[in-house]
Amino acid sequence: MGLLRTLFGAGAAERKGMAAPTMATAISWAELLGLPVAPGTVTSGDALRVPAYAGSVRLISEALSVLPARIIKVSDAGEREHVRGDRRARLLDRPCSWLSWSEFVAGLTIDAMQRGHAFALATRGPDGEIRELLPLGAACTVDQAAPTEPPVYRISLADGTNEVHTRADILHIRCFDGRAMPEVLAGPLSLSLSLMRHVENLFRRGAKPGGYLKPKKQLSEDAKKNLKKAFDAAASGPENAGRTLLLEPDVDFDPAVMTSVDAELTGVWERATLEIARGMRVSPHQIAEQQKAPSGNAETMGAEFVRYCLLPWIRMWEGALEIVLFGPDEWPFEVEFDATEFERAEFASRFEGLAKAVTHGILNPNEARSTIGMPPYQGGEKYVMQGANVPVSALGAPPAAAPQPPAGGAQQ
């Protein structure tokens, strides 16, 4: 237990409820296991072999891909109008002939995380209008001589030549100041890959021997090979599991046991997973690390994921699209991602919010119905206020006079 206490402060059996080991401690355990950990050598393809990283990439890219985008025209009075039918608005539904909007957003977001940058070329017709947004993958590079100068984009063509474009023609999504996430998370990713290889060898090919044959007398090399071959044929493989093994009288067998260092492998792996989740700005429970999910506040953590992880991506996408779709003199137009799509899963919360918006005069009933795909009804265009649910236009008007009894009528 001395080694366990040195590295973790307590034995494995006493760590329940304690903080997870630090990354430095996890690497120390990896070194004890004899695992090569070489940060900075993880490729984007190898990184996706790590379930925690691949799950985080899918979580972010697929969450963004379900959000519809729309063009908003802002009036001088601040009123916002959804623009429909415009050529640019149609690009936000079908960027090009072979990609839907969801596929387009997911693909470029993954490219940005994997490479640090993602690019799409805005192709224009003779009239200067954008016809398509074409993903460029690794065919595009960006150069910027100085922070005060605009970037220059170079597209490598099949014939070996380059096309040069400005930012007005290139949809540019940048991740973490242009650094790829496999580079940023090289340490925990490299550790995770080493652990995966070790576990694969341990349980599939036998990184440690199943046991030791101890002859009581000296054997020749040929005799050793024959003894091992005969023992493997009788005891190795799942088909021989549980069978009774008969040994020669002059041979003993000692089974190999898992050491305390091997037993701590789970803790090391957990540390690496937490580091990946921290770097990707996702909660551990969202990539199936349920042991680190606090009870009772999953909804709050979901809101924090939207606010602190997805919202920066959303703002980056909106800004990049506005640069490409609109010229400098087209300020009243904006691109807006509709984040209310996240509320679809929260049926009760969504309807409660709509009901409050209607009873407080923020939305009229028809506007509330349109958000859930319901048709309008006659009279639903009036705004009402809670209480008697009277039209807003009637607020502040003098109350109607009480009806008068008919002339000459007897008082009952």
Q: How confident is the model at residue 301 (pLDDT cuts 50, 70, 90)?
A: confident
Main-chain phi, psi angles of 96, to 5 degrees: -150, 175
C-alpha–C-alpha distance, residues 30 and 89, integer Å: 53
Distances, alpha carbon 335 to alpha carbons 23, 82, 326, 366, in Å? 41, 10, 10, 24
Please report the pLDDT score of residue 244 as a whole number.
Answer: 62
Please report the pLDDT score of residue 82 as a whole number.
Answer: 82
C-alpha–C-alpha distance, residues 186 and 200, integer Å: 21
Asked if residue 66 lies in contact with residue 58, where contact means CB atoms within 8 angstroms, the answer is: no
Mean pLDDT of 367-384: 82
Please report the pLDDT score of residue 11 as a whole number.
Answer: 37
Asked if residue 70 lies in contact with residue 336, where contact means CB atoms within 8 angstroms, the answer is: yes
C-alpha–C-alpha distance, residues 67 and 28, integer Å: 43
Highest mean pLDDT out of 64-78, 147-161, 281-295, 310-324: 310-324
Highest mean pLDDT out of 1-10, 105-114, 331-340, 357-366: 105-114
In the sheet that 140-143 helps form, which strands lie side by side, from edge to edge? 140-143, 152-156, 162-165
Q: What is the mean pLDDT of the chain?
A: 78
Q: Residue 359 has which token pair? A: 């009873």
Structure-model confidence comparison of residues 166 and 352, the more confident one: 166
Alpha helices in 326-406 (DSSP H): 347-359, 365-371
* pTM > 0.75: no
Residue 76: is its pLDDT beyond 50?
Answer: yes
> Residues 6 or more apart from 82 whose CB is under 8 A from it?
70, 71, 72
391-398: list long-range contacts, CB under 8 Å, 24+ apart.
392/361
Q: How confident is the model at residue 14 (pLDDT cuts 50, 70, 90)?
A: very low
Q: How many CB atoms lie within 10 A of CB 106?
A: 21
Structure-model confidence comparison of residues 56 and 347, the more confident one: 56
In the sheet that 333-337 helps form, which strands lie side by side, from edge to edge? 80-83, 69-74, 333-337
Mean pLDDT of 141-149: 84
Residue 2: is its pLDDT beyond 50?
Answer: no
Residue 151: is its pLDDT beyond 80?
Answer: yes
The string of pLDDT tens digits covering residues 184-236 is 999 899 888 888 887 776 666 544 556 666 777 787 888 778 877 877 776 66
Asked if residue 155 lies in contact with residue 171, where contact means CB atoms within 8 angstroms, the answer is: no
Residue with tokens 């008697």, as numbered in its chain: 388
